[in-house]
Amino acid sequence: GAGVSQSPSNKVTEKGKDVELRCDPISGHTALYWYRQRLGQGLEFLIYFQGNSAPDKSGLPSDRFSAERTGESVSTLTIQRTQQEDSAVYLCASSPSPETQYFGPGTRLLVL
């Protein structure tokens, strides 16, 4: 498809387990973002990648969170030793320039 895709759509895990969330950006988009959205809340910036520059990790809430991106393609957000407060929707967005960004449908994470 032409849009940003994310997988899985939903993920249920047990407290203490690690999870990996995947984002496939729109082809040709050099920038990729990850956001967290808790139930009924706004979007909380986590990290963004821009081309070959060092990623801006300023929004990652703890060292349990990390993200990687291979070139200008797929990105993976990893949460280690998940906690119940990590339950949220994790949204990915990509953009061809700083002027805009397009979102995927999100991954709904529930930590039991």
Give contact residues for another protein (rule: CB under 8 A): 4, 31, 33, 35, 41-45, 48, 50, 56, 58-59, 91, 93, 95, 98-106
**Shortest spacing between CB 105 and another protein, in angstroms:** 5
Pick from 68, 62, 56, 92: which is nearest to 80 by CA?
A: 62
Q: How would DSSP label each residue in 69-93?
A: E-TTS-EEEEE-S--GGG-EEEEEE
**Shortest spacing between CB 16 and another protein, in angstroms:** 25
Q: What share of the chain is helix, strand, coil (3-state, %, to 5)?
A: 5, 45, 50
Q: Which is nearer to another protein, 17 or 66 (CB)?
A: 66
Supply angle C-alpha 4, 18, 63, rounded to 5: 85
Q: Which is nearer to another protein, 90 or 111 (CB)?
A: 90
**Shortest spacing between CB 36 and another protein, in angstroms:** 9
**Shortest spacing between CB 68 and another protein, in angstroms:** 18
